[in-house]
Amino acid sequence: MQLKKLPIQNISFLNQNYFELSFRDEKITELVKPGQFFQIKNPSKKFPLLPRPFSISKVEKDTFSFLIKKIGKVTRSLSELVQGEIVQLLGPLGNGFTLVDNKNSLLVSGGIGYAPMPFLEKELHGKGNHITSFHGGRTGNDIFCREVMNCTEDGSVGLSGFVTEHVEKYLQDNPVDVVYSCGPEPMLKVLVELCIKNSVQVQISMERIMACGVGACCGCVVSVEENNEVVYKKVCKDGPVFDGAKVVWDE
């Protein structure tokens, strides 16, 4: 990992809720793996204090980007930055997805869980995978890309209903070796159950409130089964990607 202060190369808005921040750094684009993240902070604002974790969305040559949803103070303040302003980035952090070769890979995302998917898709494609992507959102505002199987809860764009309903049908009718996923926890939970039922390996990227982001503070733990024991694993360092079948969901 490295701590960098980089000028924003580009900031662009997909719609009123989502925007993309891009930076240029050759060393970083050589290092990063899909599913890894950076702790990002606007250094001109003392508060909120902590940086926030964002996964890498796209990597093209020496440029890397983050897809961000405006939710709270930090994301709003980041959305108000302009090209050339300096942002503090710590990373790359976390384990990232484990990439397979020449397999049938299924990508499933929900809402802002779409963030790591473009980079993941690109790298899996380079490893000869056959890739199908499903993405779910509440409304058309949560849809990012026309080339994936989009599902909306209000039926305004693409297939109607929860993304997991359509993934369930897809898994029954198509050969899938590995499922890669990121999204809200209720979606991940249903998806993991589907994958277990269909005996498909599933890698899920988890999210937790973090402090250090590097494994020092033990603030962001999730319960994971290991050697028949339930242990706390750090989302920032042991994750954010976990074997979905091993995650023990909080009550």
Partner 1 sequence: MNKCEIQFGKMKWKNPLTVASGTFGLEYAELFDLSLLGALTTKTITPKPKKGNKPQRIVETEVGLLNSIGLQNPGLEEFIKTDLQKYQEFDTNLIVSISASTIDEFIKMIERLDIQTGIDAYEINVSCPNVENEGIAFGTNEEIVFELTRKITSVTEKTVIIKLTPNVTSIENIALAAQKGGADGLALINTLYGMAIDVDARKLKLRNGIGGYSGPGIKPIALQNVYRVAQVVAIPILAMGGISNVQDALEFVIAGATAVAVGTQNFVNPFTSIEVIRGLEVYCHQHSVDFNELIGSIT
State the nearest-atom distance from the C-beta of 189 to partner 1, in Å. Answer: 16
Return d(Cα 25, Cα 90) in angstroms, integer.
Answer: 13
What ranges in 105-175 are assigned the alpha helix state H? 117-126, 163-173
Task: Indicate whether 248 belongs to the interface with partner 1 (CB under 8 A).
Answer: no
Cβ proximity to partner 1, 157 vs 231, nearer residue: 231
* 5 and 88 Cβ atoms separated by less than 8 Å: yes
Task: Indicate whether 120 belongs to the interface with partner 1 (CB under 8 A).
Answer: no
What are the two backbone dihedrals, phi and then psi, of residue 136, each rounded to the nearest 5 degrees? -120, 145
Contact pattern for partner 1 over residues 196 through 215, marking x by CB under 8 A:
------------xxxxxxxx
Return d(Cα 86, Cα 24) in angstroms, integer.
Answer: 12
Return d(Cα 189, Cα 181) in angstroms, integer.
Answer: 11
* 198 and 176 Cβ atoms separated by less than 8 Å: yes
State the nearest-atom distance from the C-beta of 180 to partner 1, in Å. Answer: 24
- The residue from 156, 232, 248, 249 that contacts partner 1 (CB under 8 A) is 232
Q: Which stretch binds partner 1 (CB under 8 A): 15-23, 43-51, 77-85, 128-136?
A: 43-51
- The residue from 47, 82, 146, 173 that contacts partner 1 (CB under 8 A) is 47
Q: How many CB atoms lie within 10 A of CB 106?
A: 27
Task: Indicate whether 189 belongs to the interface with partner 1 (CB under 8 A).
Answer: no
Cβ proximity to partner 1, 122 vs 208, nearer residue: 208
Task: Indicate whether 6 belongs to the interface with partner 1 (CB under 8 A).
Answer: no
Q: How many CB atoms lie within 10 A of CB 166?
A: 19
State the nearest-atom distance from the C-beta of 215 to partner 1, in Å. Answer: 5
Binding to partner 1 in span 75-104, by CB under 8 A = 88, 90
Return d(Cα 18, Cα 168) in angstroms, integer.
Answer: 28
State the nearest-atom distance from the C-beta of 127 to partner 1, in Å. Answer: 27
Task: Indicate whether 249 belongs to the interface with partner 1 (CB under 8 A).
Answer: no
Return d(Cα 91, Cα 181) in angstroms, integer.
Answer: 21
- The residue from 169, 216, 226, 249 that contacts partner 1 (CB under 8 A) is 216
CA distances from 170 to 100, 134, 149 (A): 20, 10, 11
- The residue from 217, 226, 248, 249 that contacts partner 1 (CB under 8 A) is 217
State the nearest-atom distance from the C-beta of 51 to partner 1, in Å. Answer: 7
Element (H, E) at 27: helix 26-31
Smallest CA-to-CA distance from 138 within 150, 157, 154 is with 154
Residues at the site binding partner 1, with contacts judged by CB under 8 A: 1-3, 41, 46-51, 88, 90, 208-222, 231-232, 237, 250
